[in-house]
Structure 1
Amino acid sequence: MWPIRRDIADLCYIRFLELDPDARELFAGDIEWQRMKVLDMITALVASLDERSMFQSLIMLSGHKHASLGVQTLHYVAMGEALMWSLDRKLGTSFTPELRESWRTLYARAQTEMLRSAAKT
C-alpha cells in the first residue's frame, strides 16, 4: 500500500478540503509538504503499534504540534472521514470490512490521544 501513499495523500487532502473548506487557512506553507507529512505520520503510527511508548510519544508530539497550529476537533473528524474515503477509493476491494475497521480504530485512537495531548498544551 505505501508505494501509493502519494495518491492516497492527494485524495485525502482534496476530500478533506471539500469536507472542511475553512481548513485551508491551516496550511500557510507548502500544502504538498503537509500532505506527505500526514502520510509519514500515519506510516510511523502503524509501524509503532507494537511499541506502545513510541506510539504514545508520536501522538503526544503530534497533538502538541497540531494544537499550536490551531487544529480543532472538527478538523480531526473531517480528516478521518477523508482518510477512510481515500483508502476506500484507492484500495478498492482490498479495503475489506476488517481492514476498514482496523483503520477506523487506529484513527479514532490517534485522534483521541492527540486531542488529549493538545488539551494539556
Structure 2
Amino acid sequence: MTPEQIKLVQESFARVAPDAEEASQVFYTRLFEQAPEVRPLFKGDMRDQGKKLMAMLATVVQGLNDLDALMPAIRALAVRHNDYKVEPAHYDHVGAALLWTFEQALGDAFTAETRKAWSEAYGVLAGAMIAASAEAR
C-alpha cells in the first residue's frame, strides 16, 4: 500500500469510528443479506461481535504503517477463524460488506480513491489470513 492509501484508510476509519456500534450493525446486516450461509457461524451476542470487529479494524488500520509488526496478530486471528469454520470464499463476502458499510457511512466522502485504498488494505489482510488459515490446517 502507498502512504497515500494508508492515510485515506486511516482518515476514513477515524470518521466512522465514533459510530462504531452502528457501523458494525450495518456491516452484519449487509453481510447476512448478501451471504446468509455465514449467519450460523456467529454464535454469540452480535453487539459483542460488532465491538470485536471494530476493535480489530482499529488495530489493523493503525498497523498499516508497519505490516510486518501486524502480521503475527493477523495470523493468529486466521487460525482462530479455522475453529469457527470460516472458508476462503467467506472473505469475499466480508470484504464486499465492509466496503458497502464504509460507503454508506461516508457518503460522498467515500471517493474512488478511498474505495481503492480500502480494497487494497482488505486484500492484504484477507490474503494473509487465507494463507495462514491454510497453513494451519
TM bin, normalised by shorter chain, reads over 0.9
Q: Which structure 2 residues correspond to residues 1-121 of structure 1 after superposition, within 5 A?
A: 1=15, 2-121=17-136
* Cα RMSD for the two superposed structures: 1.1
- SS of alignment partner, residue 76 of structure 2: helix
Shift of 1:71: 0.6
Structure-2 separation of matches of 1:21 and 1:46: 27
Shift of 1:52: 2.4
Runs of 4+ that moved beyond 2 A: none
TM-score (norm 1): 0.94
Structure 2 residue runs of 5 or longer lacking an equivalent are: 1-14
Shift of 1:73: 1.5
- SS of alignment partner, residue 70 of structure 1: coil
Q: Give aligned pairs, total.
A: 121
Identity of aligned residues (%): 28
Q: Would the aligned equivalents of 2:103 and 2:110 in 1 still touch at CA under 8 Å?
A: yes
Q: Encode CA deviations 1:29-86: one digit per residue, 9 max, x unaligned.
A: 1121112211111110010111223211121011111111101122111111001111
